[in-house]
Amino acid sequence: MTIFLPVPIRDRLRSLTVAMTDTAAPAYQRTMTGWHVALLMIAAAAPLSSMLGNVPGGLIFGNGAGLPAAFLAAALLMAILLIVYLELHRSLPGVAGFSSYVKAGLGSGMGAGAAYTTMLGYIAATISYAVGVGYFGSLIAATYGITIPWWALTGCAFLIIGLLGRRGAEVSGRAVMVLVGAEFILLVVMNVLIVAHDGRSAFPAASFSPTTIFSGQPGLALMTGLTSFVGIEAGILYSRETKNARRAIPRAVYGALAAIALFYVITTWIIIGGLGANNAVAAALKLQGDVVFTLAYQFGGPWLLIPMQVLFCGSVLASAIAMHNAASRYTADLARDGLLPARLGVFHRTRSVPAAASNVIATLGLVIVLVFALAQVNPYIGLGSSLVGLLTIALFGVQIIVVLAALRYFARSRQLTGVLMSACILGGFGLVIAVSLMIVNYSVLTGTDSPLASAPLLLLVLALIAGPIVVAAKRRTSTSTIPDEQPMQAPLM
């Protein structure tokens, strides 16, 4: 029910609202550059861990030696989708994130559902990658006779994540810059060593022949390629913190996509050449997760293998930091919109970052890890793999909704050009195929047939349904409004 207040009281309340808005610190400070955004996107995609974790699976379950073409196709699909997302960014200044775009096209209820789903996906990613730091760090240490519990390393990862989460995204960007730079250097060194040893055979022509590309399961190969680009979509989320965002964000997003795509295609191609195009699948079946480590040792010896093992854990940690930044911003935005407890929307007093949301997510991760550790659940199958699957389907599923919202928004605002319509149709069609493949082949995505790994998918359905329900309930319980009131800034802590 709407209550219209007497004019003097209404004007007084409005003046107080404007005064509080004018004197409050801005919710976000524009301290980031396009470089910071691009580095956080690259860190989220995790080049080293993608090569170590995704390439063996793509070779075994996908199209074998044709895998580089699948990475190229995935990059082209992402480039088409970015046309839509960046046009939404241009047309809706001052907003950021998929949920805002869904809200503009499909209404507040669906926008809230998309926000809950995306937030859940990013939180799952943060926890999963932090668990990965502990799990793989523990395994690598064991090969050198050092015993470290996985949960201890994961706990250290969360402490680092929480600390950087309170320092601001530009600080996180500088931290991951070192890790990402080292990742690229090591993989480039490995690539150069393989090419120097094998010559032109390091680039087998068979990888781009139609017969090889469409052999095996090309759909699963495409799925492998797309999962390696998770995190690219998060770049637009930092537009409120980026200097000259209107120019910097498109450059950062396309620059990061181009760099990652080129790197993925070339590195995957050389890995196949190092294994031998005709022997790549058999070698991947035998070595599995050790494919890249084996090549590093074969062509570079221990001086390349050891730092690569250390940087692998650093790569996963960089991904966790990037996903945590995205999760805390979605959580804070939901709290500021009244869709989560208001306390989660509190910002740091001097650094203007969502400190409360960051603290809660890091603490939640620590609690979950402690519970699973005490229950002696396998951190890879019981926790890590199931959360990776949840993340992937959440983010790509929400992007389908974003494309539908974009079509409706641009059609209503008479901005739907032929290029935009084509991008929406092609991108949406590609996403539907990709998500369908992910659901049908969920055991391949998570690496396990365990029912426990599939259980979190129900959370995505509940999150999407919760949005319209919560928004409707909020409208029913609202007792008064102030016409034309100014938006309130986030409280500070």
Distance CA 381, CA 443 (A): 11
Point out the least confidently predicted range of 6-15, 99-108, 120-129, 163-172. 6-15
Q: Is residue 478 pLDDT above 90, yes or no?
A: no
Distance CA 85, CA 403 (A): 8
pLDDT digits (tens, 9 = 90+) for 117-174: 999 988 988 998 898 888 888 888 888 899 999 999 999 999 888 887 666 555 555 6
SS3 455: coil
Q: Is residue 313 pLDDT above 60, yes or no?
A: yes
Q: What's the sign of the alpha-carbon dihedral 96, 97, 99, 101?
A: positive
Give the tokens for residue 25.
């610190």
- How confident is residue 27, by pLDDT bands cut at 50, 70 and 90? low
Q: Is residue 339 pLDDT above 50, yes or no?
A: yes
Q: Which residues contact 134 (CB under 8 A, 6 or more apart)?
A: 149, 150, 151, 152, 153, 154, 155, 157, 369, 379
Point out the least confidently predicted range of 193-197, 216-220, 296-300. 216-220
Mean pLDDT along residues 90-96: 74
Q: Is residue 4 pLDDT above 70, yes or no?
A: no
Looking at residue 218, its pLDDT comes to 87
Q: Is residue 312 pLDDT above 80, yes or no?
A: yes
Distance CA 97, CA 395 (A): 12
Looking at residue 197, its pLDDT comes to 92
Mean pLDDT along residues 56-69: 89
Higher pLDDT, 45 or 351: 45
Share of the chain above pLDDT 70, in %: 82
pTM for the complete prediction? Answer: 0.79
Looking at residue 488, its pLDDT comes to 41
Mean pLDDT along residues 219-223: 84
Point out the least confidently predicted range of 362-371, 387-396, 471-480. 471-480
Residue for token pair 């994961």: 154
pLDDT digits (tens, 9 = 90+) for 245-301: 778 888 888 888 998 999 999 999 999 999 998 899 999 888 877 888 899 999 999
Alpha carbon distance, N-terminus to C-terminus of the chain? 33
Distance CA 208, CA 203 (A): 10
Give the tokens for residue 100.
């805002």
Tell me the HSE value of 14 on the side-chain side, using a 13 A CA sphere.
13
Higher pLDDT, 449 or 420: 420
Mean pLDDT along residues 50-61: 84
Higher pLDDT, 76 or 486: 76
SS3 302: helix
SS3 95: coil
